[in-house]
Structure 1
């Protein structure tokens, strides 16, 4: 670090703006909320309409710095691309003769400041106050040097951004590939004449569950019988339960005990839950949101094949849902569902083919995760180097940053 860097506190060189207005209903200015700013990168991914806001809000100018004070671990700091209104959850800064706005934006995302901000408050919704952050000490070069540092930093970060985008694209293609290959395996069997098609109710017992009255302590207190909900199906294989009912509940209510190996399908639920398939690894009861499918002649091959068929039809199951606010599947739908039913040896071979595809995908996923973690470490190291005088634009920067990142 050169002698041109001086040690200061934030409050000595910058102050937040105090421009606040209630947007006019006729304004065409955008509104930038916390949800519009991407964590870590500060990229603005969209905006709302200021005309829809009826509360006092910060008025920002182009190149103002928006610091997300709510939940500072989210690390949301952005540069306003144009005049706008912003959420009151932002502390707004404007560059001056001492501080370049782009430099300030990146300085507020640096690991040491993020850790400092996180340490200030606790609770579910911690908020940083300017009076708290104003005392943060940092080294500050002159504005010309700040701009030079930012130019070098953003060039390196742009390469990381490109690499991260490539990883995200690869992850998306991988998920689509797995979905396509499982659908292809099932589809081959649907188009082979020698493979019979069976109605699900002919090969399996199909039923549902229920929710014992919550106010009836005899049904819940001291319960030892696992009770599974549609939200639990995301586990894939369900080996534990978070809720339990009593034998009294089992004998007096509509719940039914399903054996280990039963397949469960979410008939309704929030978000992506509806259509999700899980497999019981324990004897358990379920709530009414689950369709239970228990093969009459169970075997590992037949159960795994049926699970593959149901999972491959996830999108189709969701399309088949009916209803208004919360679309539902029904037990009647599953009872009449027709599935290809190859002989056990053939089913085992198809399941193994699918398992091999999944294992290859998981191996790729681990490699992509390693790449993503490496990129995150390099990003943190770049920011640390930039604000301690160790990012100079020389070729040695790369080796220095990689050493700092431990990669």
Structure 2
């Protein structure tokens, strides 16, 4: 144990530990204003999320008086996927209530609330929260479990020095994360700009003049490629799908630029019965169905495969147009492709729309130059994205590392003149009966 440090269970460090309840009537009882009701979605590490903050009227609030929040109370999520998330109640949440998924932990005078919150956020304590003594994932924390958690207790002055240092360092990490988060969208927009310049002629405008290349024309997909689709074999027939067989690709795979594996395989019998065509390596796939970003996505087969009816297969005649150019032209016009979808709640593309989709038609030499330039620029962006991911991974490790260092006593220097934590706890224990006598009951 570090000099002047000790440990104590949460039961000895708190005035209150308890959660709330769902208001009568559930979400129907929420109002546009009134007393804030803090739910698990509002509790985030080292912050407070105001999106989704609910409100209840005075009648509902009075029924939850026992779950009243004070400023700087510690709020801990005790159920579900967000179990263990912890924060401090902001000053403007003084008087708010919590529901049954959030526990109020009110520190006594032995422990600084910021220090306490930080320890509850640390890898050491989070690992205890997430696993019970059988090693399985914990779904809920009980009050008894919370009260039993042991907390390292430095002298109070050192707790405050640790909390101050963490506030400074974590603010820098947060600022760094914000800056890094802005880079990804910039790189994505750069890719889109490159594709737009490539398919509008701007990327090779000077090259075209220097090489005295012919002007562009417009063609359609079916002029330069054969377009087809596939189908889904009857799943109730166990002879149609097998662990080993011909790869069968669905529209979900179009999220990859190059499809090299399949999650399912079909048999020769399924191919014969459903007249499935085996598409060669290099076939371009366009997702015709799918919600979100799927519809309109473009990928390329890196394996010979069959496909389902949600994909259009484009087999480019490279004597007419380079496959690599067709792929980037389709990717550049992803949004225009999506706009062609028809139908009610779930609009879809169809083969006639794919076949008639317009393509710019530069000379073959210019197509090759465009592809070369795009690949060069995208390779550069790939390197930047790899560096970004490495930086983001490094910053994700900073906070746990910093917290671990803090609670090993390595973040700030110890001061031998600080009152020891044992003396601090003795004073608190002696003061507790006097507090109770004055009618200020301490609960835990």
TM range (shorter): 0.7 to 0.9
In 1: Cα distance, 2:363 partner to 2:162 partner: 67
- Normalised by the length of structure 2, the TM-score is 0.78
- CA displacement at 1:161 relative to structure 2: 0.9
Residues 29-48 of structure 1 mapped to structure 2, 5 A cutoff: 29-38=35-44, 40-44=45-49, 46-48=51-53
Point out the more displaced range, 200-209 or 323-332: 323-332
What's 1:181 paired with? 194
Judged with a 3 Å threshold, the aligned counterparts in structure 2 of structure 1 residues 73 and 17 are, in CA distance, closer, same or farther, namely: closer
Is residue 113 of structure 1 aligned with residue 125 of structure 2?
yes
In 1: Cα distance, 2:340 partner to 2:4 partner: 68
Residues 133-282 of structure 1 mapped to structure 2, 5 A cutoff: 133-188=146-201, 194-221=215-242, 224-253=245-274, 255-282=276-303
What's 1:404 paired with? none
What's 1:16 paired with? 17
Residues 287-298 of structure 1 mapped to structure 2, 5 A cutoff: 287-297=308-318
Unaligned runs of 5+ residues in structure 1 are 395-407
8 Å Cα contact 2:9-2:149 kept in structure 1: yes
Is residue 384 of structure 1 aligned with residue 404 of structure 2?
yes
Residues 361-400 of structure 1 mapped to structure 2, 5 A cutoff: 361-392=381-412
- Alignment RMSD (CA, Å): 3.2
What's 1:403 paired with? none
1:28 pairs, out of 34, 49, 60, with 34
What's 2:429 paired with? none
Larger radius of gyration: 2
Judged with a 3 Å threshold, the aligned counterparts in structure 2 of structure 1 residues 48 and 19 are, in CA distance, closer, same or farther, namely: closer
1:172 partner SS: helix
Judged with a 3 Å threshold, the aligned counterparts in structure 2 of structure 1 residues 116 and 306 are, in CA distance, closer, same or farther, namely: same
In 1: Cα distance, 2:364 partner to 2:153 partner: 71
- Normalised by the length of structure 1, the TM-score is 0.84
Point out the more displaced range, 108-117 or 3-12: 3-12
Unaligned runs of 5+ residues in structure 2 are 209-213, 415-444
In 2: Cα distance, 1:237 partner to 1:383 partner: 41
In 2: Cα distance, 1:375 partner to 1:179 partner: 28
In 2: Cα distance, 1:312 partner to 1:86 partner: 49
In 2: Cα distance, 1:123 partner to 1:176 partner: 43
Residues 259-338 of structure 1 mapped to structure 2, 5 A cutoff: 259-297=280-318, 302-338=322-358
- CA displacement at 1:214 relative to structure 2: 1.2
Judged with a 3 Å threshold, the aligned counterparts in structure 2 of structure 1 residues 167 and 202 are, in CA distance, closer, same or farther, namely: same
In 2: Cα distance, 1:65 partner to 1:91 partner: 8
- CA displacement at 1:316 relative to structure 2: 2.6
In 2: Cα distance, 1:35 partner to 1:265 partner: 38
What's 2:115 paired with? 103
8 Å Cα contact 1:197-1:341 kept in structure 2: yes
Judged with a 3 Å threshold, the aligned counterparts in structure 2 of structure 1 residues 126 and 279 are, in CA distance, closer, same or farther, namely: farther
In 2: Cα distance, 1:72 partner to 1:337 partner: 45
Judged with a 3 Å threshold, the aligned counterparts in structure 2 of structure 1 residues 349 and 381 are, in CA distance, closer, same or farther, namely: same
- CA displacement at 1:335 relative to structure 2: 1.2
- CA displacement at 1:321 relative to structure 2: 2.9
What's 1:88 paired with? 100
- CA displacement at 1:176 relative to structure 2: 1.1
Judged with a 3 Å threshold, the aligned counterparts in structure 2 of structure 1 residues 212 and 364 are, in CA distance, closer, same or farther, namely: same
What's 1:66 paired with? 75
Q: How many pairs does the alignment contain?
A: 390
Higher relative contact order (CA 8 A, sep 6+): 2
1:108 partner SS: helix
Point out the more displaced range, 225-234 or 373-382: 373-382
8 Å Cα contact 1:4-1:141 kept in structure 2: yes
- CA displacement at 1:11 relative to structure 2: 3.2
Measured against aligned partners, the alpha-carbon deviations of 1:7-31 in whole angstroms (never above 9, x if no partner) come to 1122332352244351644463444
- CA displacement at 1:336 relative to structure 2: 0.9
- CA displacement at 1:155 relative to structure 2: 0.9
2:201 partner SS: helix
In 2: Cα distance, 1:16 partner to 1:36 partner: 19
8 Å Cα contact 2:281-2:303 kept in structure 1: yes
Point out the more displaced range, 5-14 or 211-220: 5-14
What's 2:6 paired with? 6
Judged with a 3 Å threshold, the aligned counterparts in structure 2 of structure 1 residues 392 and 291 are, in CA distance, closer, same or farther, namely: same
Measured against aligned partners, the alpha-carbon deviations of 1:118-176 in whole angstroms (never above 9, x if no partner) come to 33276677444443444333311355543332122111111111111111112221111
In 1: Cα distance, 2:99 partner to 2:377 partner: 46
